[in-house]
A and B are shown apart, each in its own frame.
Chain A
Amino acid sequence: MNLTLNNIFYKYPTSKKMTLNGITVDMASNKIGLIGESGSGKSTLIHLLNALHRPTHGEITIGDNIITKESKLKKLQHIRKDVAIVYQFTDLQLFAETVKQELLFALNNFGIEKENIDLEIEGYFKAFNLDLEYLKVSPFSLSGGQKKKVAIITMLLIDPKILILDEPTVGLDPQSVEDILGAIDEMTKQGLKVIMISHDMNAVYKFCDDIVELTHGMKTFDGSKYDFFKHKYRQKNILMLPSELSYAATIDVNNVLYDELYNGRGLEEFLKEKNV
């Protein structure tokens, strides 16, 4: 599903300044990382994509739908079926008595009827490495990683075309991160477009193909992961590099190692080869 933003400005009614300033981006890739410091406008942007807000100026194209200042949000609610958001704080999204009821909540709201829902849930549980026994328990009794998986499956059940994950790796154990990113990665191969908001550069480096960077509501980068990290590598901005590149960036004065490392050759192997 095509997703483009054309010169998007947004100002909250309670604020005096623009939160988003002229964002133009064509989100063509299926694995996009949306990054930027806190307060840069990432959350506002995803709310615009979900038709929770209307842009103050500019237009957003999601498939055949166009969201502008003049759009009637009530009439655009069906967009939420195509663009799903999983928020960072899963505790605030769960409320049902059992995990099964939680999973069916969004499905019922959108009036989606599926004959093989149990099989589908089973498939997702398998993909996310979750035990089917959890279907009967309260969502609040689950661990952080399990809650996150349930929250993602809830949204996947409505068959969205675009899935927005807000900080999907925060506070999770490495196995849960692996499970979630692995399962989502498989789904992107079947056409699901994923936008991942994250401060975790390891997750962004591992998962995303393209990156959009926002700074103070303005787009400061839009391009491939390769170009993004190359730029940060040359800048020696180790805070914005994944761990496997950050150490190399500090010792690689002439920036000759980036391509080797990016293409999967370990630093250790490279240094051994060069007798360093």
Chain B
Amino acid sequence: MFESSFNIDNLGKGNSFIHNLHPGAKVVIALGAILLNAMISSPLFSLMITIIFLILLILARIDFKIFFKGYVVIIYFTIGLIISYAIFVGFSLMMMFTVWINLTSMAMAVFFLMFTSPILQTLYGLEFLMHPLNYIKLPVNAIILISTIALSFIPILVSEVQRILYAMAVRGQDIRYAPIKEKIKIAVAVLIPLLISTLNRSETLASAIAVKNYDAWSPRSNILSVKWKLIDSIFILVVILSLYLSTILIK
């Protein structure tokens, strides 16, 4: 009843050629598109980005049912932003389109990363790209490790929230049937044990990492052995070329 259909562990798994690309290449494309979109700030360019990522997602043969579930959230954001613009700036169809396509294009870049590489691989890709920052003494590995741990906590937190909600329900406080005022009370009662268990878990985790002799500056092997191949470079070139052609088309 309190179970969530969303499973973070299954996200990004697949066997298309896009799934098999180097995660670093996918991070370059997604982040590059988001940056260019912000810099160029043209609805037509955003539309081209959306189309390019849609083609990539189709080529990756992702499950569009899950995609649309995620896209519903973007629709809510879009509606919220359009309402705020309409109140404070004024309403026009062009504004509606601009807001929608800007948000959608950026969401498509994120969806592309989410649906074509598991989160740990994406982080590996980021680490790969951020590697040169080690030379200016930025602890890249530690940053990635913290991000990995934070992301790994999400399913644990989800399952703990479920457990707490069950424990509340058996004690006569079922969030599903409670009135709004009670729902808020239950939410507070959920947060306290959640916070305490998270703090306890973090403490244990910190000790566990320390006893495993973790050192951000020591040379480390990696569980993922993804090598940069020619196809990764070609993929980046093709996408950049498509984006360049888009800018020419806009002009």
Contacts and interface: CB of A to CB of B under 8 A. Distances in A.
Interface of A: 12-14, 47, 50, 52-53, 74, 77, 80-81, 84-85, 87, 89, 91-95, 105-106, 109-110, 140, 154-155, 158
B196 A140 contact: yes
B196 A109 contact: no
Residue among B170, B177, B192, B197 facing the most chain A CB atoms (10 A cut-off): B170
A91 B200 contact: yes
Given A91-B200, A92-B160, A74 B167 contact: no
Contacts of A53: 1
Interface string B165-184: 01101111110110000000
Contacts of B200: 91
Nearest to B191: A95
B177 A92 contact: no
Contacts of A84: 170
B189 interface: yes
B57 to A, nearest CB: 24
27 contacts: A12-B3, A52-B1, A52-B166, A52-B170, A53-B1, A77-B172, A77-B177, A80-B169, A80-B171, A80-B172, A85-B167, A85-B170, A87-B170, A91-B197, A92-B163, A92-B164, A92-B193, A92-B194, A92-B197, A93-B164, A94-B193, A95-B189, A95-B190, A95-B193, A106-B172, A109-B172, A109-B173
B222 interface: no
A50 to B, nearest CB: 6
B5 interface: yes
Contacts of B163: 87, 89, 92
Given A80-B170, A106-B171, A91 B196 contact: yes
Contacts of A74: 176-177
Contacts of A85: 166-167, 170
The 4 closest A-B pairs by CB, nearest first: A109-B172, A106-B171, A93-B167, A95-B192
A110 B172 contact: yes
Interface in B189-225: 189-190, 192-194, 196-197, 200
Given A87-B167, A92-B163, A93-B164, A13 B3 contact: yes
Interface residues of B, number: 25
B182 to A, nearest CB: 9
Majority DSSP secondary structure for residues of B touching A: helix
A13 B197 CA distance: 28
A17 B193 CA distance: 32
Interface string B137-180: 00000000000000000000000100110110111111011000
A92 B167 contact: yes
Nearest to B190: A95
A93 B172 CA distance: 13
B65 to A, nearest CB: 13
Interface string B99-119: 000000000000000000000
B160 A14 contact: no
Given A74-B177, A95-B189, A87 B3 contact: no
Contacts of A110: 172
B2 to A, nearest CB: 9
Contacts of B192: 95
A50 B173 CA distance: 13
Nearest to A46: B170
A91 B196 CA distance: 8
A258 to B, nearest CB: 38
Given A52-B166, A91-B200, A94-B193, A155 B177 contact: no
A84 B170 CA distance: 7
Nearest to B166: A52
Contacts of B4: 14
Contacts of B3: 12-14
A91 B193 contact: yes
Given A13-B5, A47-B166, A154 B171 contact: yes
Nearest to A77: B174
A84 B169 CA distance: 10
Interface in B1-55: 1, 3-5
Nearest to B167: A93
Contacts of A106: 171-172
A158 B194 CA distance: 25
A62 to B, nearest CB: 14
A222 B171 CA distance: 29
B171 A109 contact: yes
Nearest to A14: B5
Contacts of A91: 193, 196-197, 200
A106 to B, nearest CB: 4
Contacts of B193: 91-95
Contacts of A94: 193
